[in-house]
């Protein structure tokens, strides 16, 4: 739990390094919290999972920060996190293509 809180304290630090344990314990607690909030939202009948979405938005910068610091620790550039956008861009391109085909 100390690792989780340490990452939250350094929420906007994108330089430096992050140890393996700090990164993985943060991600473990992050996943557990998302799972718990999803269950709570389901139980109270919230079909839009607002609690989970608010949490995800609240920890967006800490997740990016710890990921970039972890990449620095293994000798890689923090810009490599942008590789994760490639499937999203492909998905948007596919949706745009399908929308244009349907307009004909």
Express each pLDDT in 27-82 by its tens digit.
999 999 999 999 999 999 988 889 999 999 999 999 999 999 999 999 999 999 99
pTM to 2 decimal places: 0.78
Give the number of domains in the chain. Answer: 1
Give a yes or no: residue 43 inside a domain: yes
Comparing C-alpha atoms, which of 78, 55, 82, 53 is closest to residue 67? 78
| Structural domain harbouring 58 | 2-79
Length of the chain counted residue by residue:
104
C-beta of residue 67 within 8 angstroms of C-beta of residue 14: no
Give a yes or no: residue 103 inside a domain: no
Q: In angstroms, rounded to a whole number, what is the distance separating the alpha carbons of residues 14 and 18?
A: 10
Give a yes or no: residue 17 inside a domain: yes
In this prediction, residue 19 has a pLDDT band, given cuts at 50, 70 and 90, of very high
pLDDT of residue 103: 59
Give a yes or no: residue 58 inside a domain: yes
């Amino acid at each position: 739990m100390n690792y989780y809180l340490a990452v939250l304290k350094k929420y906007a630090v994108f330089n430096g390094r992050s140890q393996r344990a700090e990164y993985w314990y943060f991600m473990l607690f992050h996943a557990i919290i998302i799972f718990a909030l999803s269950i709570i939202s389901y139980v109270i009948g919230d079909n839009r999972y607002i609690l989970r979405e608010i949490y995800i938005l609240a920890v967006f910068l800490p997740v990016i920060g710890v990921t970039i610091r972890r990449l620095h620790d293994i000798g890689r550039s923090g810009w490599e996190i942008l590789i994760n956008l490639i499937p999203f861009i492909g998905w948007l391109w596919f949706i745009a293509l399908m929308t244009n085909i349907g307009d004909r």
